[in-house]
């Protein structure tokens, strides 16, 4: 995938990096990027929220990191957590190829370890937007952890990938029934396939 980016995408052009990865995953080898169809929904949420602070859980190869960072205002900050060093190394190069390294802080480590350190290590008060796309059984514990650490403010937006496929039943049950969130489901398809999947957008009510 990285070779495809370096061969087909233009340095400093995030859209060409996104296109190169999507082309590679459609033509050569499927990969678990959020993809172009759900990616458009992601783009519209990022544009609508216009966040100053973003947390991404699960960088993988940096596809959604590039999509999000390319839409952020100049002073905005995107912190992305990835605990697999091999994926982190690839993502770092993909983000650099897109010319977005100044907007992105890629942190190598587990979300559970780093979420409690966000304030002291990065001077983050609260996140305006969180994109959840890591192991599906971590969405709920990490959401509760973000609440406990005071990282969500009235109006913070959580956007979760794969709430249908592979599915995040415990997270959906919690977020749709909690009086502290207002949720909305965006129906779509699993990246590069016709299988149903979707994104769940939830506003923290404080
Ligand atoms: C606690 C913790 N801390 C830090 N990094 C963490 C972390 N937990 C995981 N990570 C990291 O994040 C990525 C993991 C992503 C998991 N995503 C999926 O499993 C996924 C799967 C599919 C899929 C659908 C149908 C199929 F048939 C097969 C696969 C589609 C998707 O879109 C997915 O996101 C990966 O880079 C992993 O190292
Ligand atoms: Mg996903």
DSSP β-ladder status, 181-189 and 196-204: antiparallel
Give bridge partners of residue 201 from the DSSP assignment.
159, 184
Mean pLDDT of all residues in 28-37: 98
Residue 9: its pLDDT value, please? 98
pLDDT per position as a tens digit, 112-132? 999 999 999 999 999 999 999
CB 114 within 8 A of CB 25: no
Whether 29 is catalytic:
no
Of the residues 161, 197, 200, 201, which is catalytic?
161
Of the residues 22, 128, 133, 142, which is catalytic?
133
pLDDT per position as a tens digit, 8-22? 999 999 999 999 999
Residue 115: its pLDDT value, please? 98
CB 45 within 8 A of CB 131: no
> What CA–CA distance (Å, rounded) separates 154 from 28?
43
In ligand 1, which atom is closest to the CA atom of 109?
4
Q: What is the ipTM of this complex?
A: 0.99
**What's the gap in Å between 110 CA and the centre of ligand 1?**
13
Report the chain's mean pLDDT, rounded to a whole number.
98
DSSP character for 160?
Answer: E
Protein residue whose Cα sits closest to atom 25 of ligand 1: 166
pLDDT per position as a tens digit, 72-83? 999 999 999 999
> What CA–CA distance (Å, rounded) separates 79 from 104?
6
> What CA–CA distance (Å, rounded) separates 113 from 127?
17
> What CA–CA distance (Å, rounded) separates 58 from 111?
8
């Amino acid at each position: 995938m990285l070779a495809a980016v370096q061969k087909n995408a233009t340095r400093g052009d995030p859209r060409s990096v996104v296109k190169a990865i999507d082309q590679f995953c459609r033509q050569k080898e499927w990969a678990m990027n959020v993809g172009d169809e759900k990616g458009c929904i992601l783009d519209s949420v990022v544009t609508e929220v216009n966040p100053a602070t973003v947390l991404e859980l699960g960088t993988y190869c940096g596809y959604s990191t590039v999509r999000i960072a390319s839409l952020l205002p100049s002073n905005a900050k995107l912190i992305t957590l990835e605990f697999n060093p091999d994926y982190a190394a690839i993502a770092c190069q993909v983000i650099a190829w897109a010319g977005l390294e100044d907007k992105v802080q890629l942190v190598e480590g587990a979300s559970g370890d780093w979420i409690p350190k966000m304030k002291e290590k990065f001077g983050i008060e609260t996140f305006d937007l969180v994109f959840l796309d890591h192991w599906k059984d971590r969405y709920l514990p990490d959401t509760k952890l973000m609440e406990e650490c005071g990282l969500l403010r009235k109006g913070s937006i959580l956007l979760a990938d794969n709430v249908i496929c592979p599915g995040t039943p415990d997270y959906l049950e919690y977020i749709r029934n909690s009086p502290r969130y207002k949720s909305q489901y965006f129906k779509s398809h699993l990246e590069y396939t016709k299988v149903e999947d979707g994104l769940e957008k939830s506003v923290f009510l404080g």
